[in-house]
Amino acid sequence: MVFLHILFVELKRLLVSKGTWLVMACSLCMPLLGYSFYTPASTATAFSAQMANPILAGGLGGAFCFSVFALIEYDRINKYQCEAVMDSIISPLIISFAKCLSILLIASLTWLAALCLYLPIMRAALGTAFILSETLLAFSVMMLPALWMGVLASAAFYQLFRRIDLSFISFTALALFSMSKWCSDLYLMRWASTDLLRLLKNLLLPEIVCWRFVPVHRS
């Protein structure tokens, strides 16, 4: 009961905070970068250009947005030097867990808003080739885990360093490592930028789904 009460209070506080809505707005703008600036998937197919790249950009950009947001929220107690008082009232583990879960819920709400915002845009761009189930799957495996990872990794790093700067540098290093060649064969490690073809094949999706995103080269 104590945990649920703290979770409700923390979630209510975040929802009335202007900073929360600013982070959500910035995260919702990130998929726009996938139409021109950030194009990790091949642009040779309409599905890659109009669906995969915007979703991947939204996941990566949103992960950094929520990383900064999580670090600021975790540092709030230390900033106002009330950590000792809070620890004497309630367990730091409960506070940390409630804070992390509330930020994860905000990230999930942002993902849902992005889905509702960009779903009509992608449907208009793809026309009759649009398939709702594929779009929902793409949002679920390419964007939502990245947002969650941004929160969880930053929270973990802050517990280790207790400093925003070192925690953000560590998160950035983790994200870059996720996109490096060393993780090219480990698609579960590529949370920051999913290897689209490998992911589709490992999910055992039909080959026609792969052809929608990856151009076929014939000799």
CA dihedral 55, 114, 31, 133 (to 10 degrees): 30
How far is Cα 192 from Cα 185, in angstroms, rounded to an integer? 14
Q: What is the pLDDT at residue 191?
A: 67
The C-alpha atoms of residue 191 and residue 158 are separated, in whole angstroms, by 20
For residues 109-132, give the mean pLDDT: 87
Q: Read off the pLDDT of each residue in 185-196 and give the average, rounded to a whole number.
A: 62
CB-based contact 200:209 (threshold 8 Å):
yes
pLDDT band at 113 (very low <50, low <70, confident <90, very high): very high
Could you tell me where the DSSP H helices lie in the chain?
2-15, 18-29, 46-47, 53-74, 76-79, 83-89, 92-126, 132-142, 144-161, 164-178, 196-202, 207-213
Q: How far apart are the first and last CA of the chain?
A: 65
Would you say 210 and 197 are in contact if contact means Cβ atoms under 8 Å apart? yes
| pLDDT, tens digit (0-9, with 9 covering 90-100), for 50-74 | 788 888 888 889 999 999 999 999 8
User: Average pLDDT for residues 74-89, to the nearest whole number?
Assistant: 70
Q: What is the pLDDT of residues 25-59, one digit of tens each?
A: 999 999 988 888 877 766 556 677 778 888 888 88
Looking at residue 154, its pLDDT comes to 92
Which amino acid would we find at residue 129? A
CA distances from 161 to 90, 148, 169 (A): 22, 20, 11
> Is the model's pLDDT at 204 over the cut of 90?
no
**Nearest alpha-carbon partner for 67 in 151, 149, 143:** 151
Neighbours of 152 (CB within 10 A): 18
- Measuring CA to CA, how many Å separate 159 from each of 78, 92, 149, 210? 12, 11, 15, 40
Q: What angle do CA 102, 106, 108 make, to 5 degrees?
A: 115
Instruction: Please say if the pLDDT value at position 137 is more than 80.
Output: yes
| Residue 86 vs residue 144, higher pLDDT | 144
pLDDT: which is higher, 59 or 92 = 59
Is the entire prediction scored with pTM above 0.75?
A: yes
Measured CA to CA, the distance from residue 171 to residue 150 in angstroms comes to 8
